[in-house]
Amino acid sequence: MMRGAARSEGWLPAEEGLRLHYQLCGSGSQAVVVPLAVYLAGPLGPLADGQRLIFYDLRGRGRSDAVRDPARIGITHDLTDVEAVRRHFGLERMALVGFSYVGAIAAVYAAEHPDRVSRLVALGAMAPSAALGRSYNPPEKALRVRTPAAQEVARLLQSGASKRDPEGFCRRFWRANAPVYVGDPALADRFPVDFCDLPNERPEQLFAWYGHVDRSLGEWDFRDQAGSITAEALVMHGDRDLIAPPEGARVWAERMPNARLMMFPGAGHALYVEQPEPVLAAMRRFLDGEWPTGAIAVPASPQP
């Protein structure tokens, strides 16, 4: 949950009776829509000073309704839900923030609805193509998932420990695996695990959700669609991201006509918890209509 500024929350209807949970915070002439509230509502809540923030959880995630039918999980449905959020709040135009997989959702939505997106922030976005994303396997990531703690929680998962104490196991799982999501393992304790009280966020449910999303993506390639984005876009990425390739951020910024790239030295995938002050400062300046210091235009690479 967001801290500090006054907030309200509720559920909005998606397709076929499915509900999405949302949180509202702040006020201002510009609406900023942020999917994946379960991760971002707390860390990005300070942006409410001057912005009208609309956080919501994806279907099957966070406090939104669980989804039992795998056919109703995937990128097509997530794109439809962005539009459902826009319509529910009566937004003519909105700024859109996408983290990780949702970075691709935000980019594709902006490409398909150029008149609806005023500004776009891609935060640790997944690679724009399957070839790049699936070939990225940094050795350091393998080392961090082979620690004794990570191997022990993997063994406990197979033994059924997650069913005996779902919330406790979830916390143990994330404490063991948090080092994969940060650039500096010493900062792993900054990765929050307070979402473990939510059944949608527990490891077994989360693994299933990721599997359905991965199948929906197939051999994705969003590079051409990125060229149709008319909104100004700020691509933010940690240069020690072990989940989403830093090279993917460069490609996103290169392909979007009005984009700039901002790399965060030493930061990993969850750069918003590792380096909150510079991340928030850059986002605040960009959402206010200016390019932050350090954001650079990426020249187009020669095409083969």
Predicted confidence (pLDDT) at residue 304 exceeds the cutoff of 60: no
Do 102 and 81 form a contact (C-beta atoms < 8 A)? no
Q: What would the pLDDT profile of 23-68 be if each residue is shown by its tens digit?
A: 999 988 899 999 999 999 999 999 998 899 999 999 999 999 999 9
Q: Is 294 left (phi over 0), alpha (psi -120 to 50) or beta?
A: left
- Residues facing residue 1 across a β-bridge: none
* pLDDT over 80 (residue 4): no
Per DSSP, 47 falls in state G
Task: Please indicate, yes or no, if residue 296 is contained in any of the structural domains.
Answer: no
Look at residue 280 and tell me if it is in a domain. yes
Q: Evaluate whether residue 75 is within a structural domain.
A: yes
- Give me the DSSP letters along 60-94: TSTTSPP---GGG-SHHHHHHHHHHHHHHTT-SSE
Q: Is position 255 within any domain?
A: yes
Cα–Cα dist 278/63, whole Å: 29
270 and 240 in one domain?
Answer: yes
pTM (2 d.p.): 0.94
Mean of pLDDT values over 161-169: 88
In this prediction, residue 6 carries a pLDDT of 59
Identify the pLDDT of residue 1.
Answer: 38
Quick: pLDDT tens for 257-286. 999 999 999 999 999 999 999 999 999 999
Number of independent structural domains in the chain: 2
* Strand bridging mode 19-25 / 52-56: antiparallel
Round to the nearest angstrom and report the end-to-end CA distance of the chain: 48
Q: Average pLDDT in the 72-85 region?
A: 97
Write out pLDDT tens, residues 113-145. Answer: 999 999 999 999 999 999 999 999 999 998 998
Name the average pLDDT for the chain: 94
| Nearest of 210, 302, 288 to residue 254 by alpha carbon | 302
In this model, does residue 5 exceed pLDDT 80? no
User: In sequence order, what are the residues at sequence separation of 6 or more whose Cβ sits closer than 8 angstroms to the Cβ of residue 100?
Assistant: 36, 123, 124, 125, 126, 243, 244, 269
**270 and 222 in a common domain:** yes
> Token pair for residue 304?
């083969």
Tokens coding 267 = 């930061």
27 plus 70 within the same structural domain = yes
CA distance 16 to 125: 29
Domain identity same for 177 and 232: no
Q: Which two tokens stand for residue 54?
A: 């609309």
Task: Say which DSSP state 304 is in.
Answer: -
Q: Between vectors from CA 92 to CA 217 and to CA 230, what angle results, nearest 5°?
A: 55
**What pLDDT, on the 0 to 100 scale, is given for residue 149?**
87
Question: Is 304 inside any structural domain?
Answer: no
With 80 as the cut, is the pLDDT of residue 3 above it? no
Q: Provide, rounded to the nearest whole percent, the portion of the chain with pLDDT above 70.
A: 97
What is the mean predicted confidence (pLDDT) over 156-180?
90
pLDDT of residue 2: 42
Instruction: Report the pLDDT value the prediction gives residue 303, as an integer from 0 to 100.
Output: 58
Q: Which domain holds residue 18?
A: 7-136+216-287
Residues 232 and 120 in one domain: yes
Distance in angstroms (rounded) separating the CA atoms of residues 41 and 45: 5
Burial label for 28, CB within 10 Å (0-12, 13-18, 19+), is middle
Comparison of pLDDT for 160 and 183, the residue scoring more: 183
Question: Distance between CA atoms of 266 and 98, rounded to whole angstroms?
Answer: 21
